[in-house]
Structure 1
């Protein structure tokens, strides 16, 4: 599955029992609604082990963070999990400033996230 608009590309691929959501572009006020809707649809349809790859994200604002928080809550409510791939210092710093590095399961690379086996809460 693949969704695209002018500011955010969303690619979805299956990796065993994990669903990889790769974001390219900007996750902000203009794009968070599309992102949230698509990922919640995945969760509701049974893809409850999400890996969201932020490696190719150019911009992330507070509404994008809010979307990620909402998706994490929904995943956990549906007995699922959500792991973020965040190899860039700038994006990781945003999570640290917001105090969210302790809330999310954040991995430094896609390989580590997909090989993690048992997701953390």
Structure 2
């Protein structure tokens, strides 16, 4: 089971994922993300501090959100990514594309 919290501040949305980001969660989260982008959000930060698992559907959702943001000159970032998930994203060559970092403090450095 997973849940998430979406908070908006100006043109930035923070998505805090708790638990899983898998095929089960996509039908609820995907429309919410589309709504945020339609509402004018140009920076979306996924805080993965409390995320325990990620499957191919979850990766697909992150890529789709990244692509949607790119079409409006926006940015998606993944912060507080666990070592296991970071390793998975590295093996798929998605770390740079999804601006993934293990430490949110590094976000402003790079």
Query: Common fold, TM-score beyond 0.5?
Result: yes
| Among 7, 19, 24, the residue aligned to 2:18 | 24
Match of 2:51 in 1: 57
| Among 92, 96, 104, the residue aligned to 1:98 | 92
Match of 1:3 in 2: none
Match of 2:103 in 1: 109
Match of 1:44 in 2: 38
Deviation at 1:15, TM superposition (A): 4.5
CA contact under 8 A between 1:87 and 1:107: conserved in structure 2? Answer: yes
Structure 2 unaligned residues grouped into runs of 5+: none
Structure 1 unaligned residues grouped into runs of 5+: 1-6
CA contact under 8 A between 2:20 and 2:53: conserved in structure 1? Answer: yes
How many matched pairs?
A: 110
- Report the aligned-residue RMSD: 1.9
Post-superposition Cα deviations, 1:60-111, rounded to whole Å, max 9, x if no partner, equal 0011000000000001112211111143101101101212123211122234
